[in-house]
Structure 1
């Protein structure tokens, strides 16, 4: 009886060792950077940044013209009036700088929020892909070297980029 149970345990152990796990990997940065939605988000924010820069340039030119006009008139003004106007221009310059900084921060925050959402969407997609295609593991490779080597047949990057982009087009 003891020998039979030992034989059964040995057979079960050997059978469980024979099961292979399905493992794949993806290049994280390539997966995200070639995802069309990320490309679209970057283009959207580039347009917003360009528009913001044009507005900033316009405000700066307007302020510069106003300041130069003041400098031209400063010598003919009473000293207390010139000092008052100089302080007004200094305050206006500070307000403009704060306005520009707030606009830049708002664009950066919105952009980061969309990128974070996009990365979360990619992770969920990879997880669902792994489940639906019976993968035990899908590893992510990056510059830090989390996957130092993988057979080309196990590289799912191109497959997942295509599937992500197809899903996005829908």
Structure 2
């Protein structure tokens, strides 16, 4: 009985040593990416952000033009007001109120559209980055690739585990290849 117990203990010890040795040899590596830096340096994000800002600037220019025309109408009304009948004043004021409401609605609509566009842009870029990081991780045999956002989700990581620049370089190379003309 004592011999069986010794044999069981030896087998268990050998198993534990084997598992531990395998883990040392296997060297599953956990690495991380600085997400803020990645999004700041990725050419695809820069290009998408530029396109987005152009759209928003155009929408704002349209709104500014409408506002300027409206302000000119108010000035013209104020000049002509003394020559108008009470009924004409009421009609013109009603017209101006309606235009003011339309301008306000237009501004709200472009703000909503800008938020939607920004969400879509962010989601599209995030999908591209996530797909690339996933393939990159598989090709390098990484067990985990964590995203550091600067909000305390990774409290400490050795700089040797930081693969941000590798990811940025790879993404930018792919972006350059796709956008060569």
The reply to whether TM is greater than 0.5 is yes
Report how far residue 61 of structure 1 moved.
1.0
CA contact (8 A) 2:63 2:106 kept: no
User: Is residue 8 from structure 1 mapped to residue 14 from structure 2 by the alignment?
Assistant: no
1:41-60 counterparts in 2 under 5 A? Answer: 41-60=48-67
Once the two structures are superposed, residues 72-127 of structure 1 have per-residue CA deviations (whole angstroms, 9 ceiling, x without a partner) of 11111111210111011110111122122212321321221121121122122212
2-structure distance, mates of 1:117, 1:97:
30
Once the two structures are superposed, residues 134-163 of structure 1 have per-residue CA deviations (whole angstroms, 9 ceiling, x without a partner) of 111112212222222222221101111111
Report how far residue 2 of structure 1 moved.
4.3
RMSD: 1.6
Aligned equivalent of 1:106, options 103, 107, 113: 113
User: Is residue 122 from structure 1 mapped to residue 125 from structure 2 by the alignment?
Assistant: no
1-structure distance, mates of 2:113, 2:99:
21
1:13-162 counterparts in 2 under 5 A? Answer: 13-18=16-21, 19=23, 20-162=27-169
For structure 2, which runs of at least 5 residues remain unmatched after alignment?
A: none
TM-score normalised over the length of structure 1: 0.91
2-structure distance, mates of 1:94, 1:164:
46
TM-score normalised over the length of structure 2: 0.86
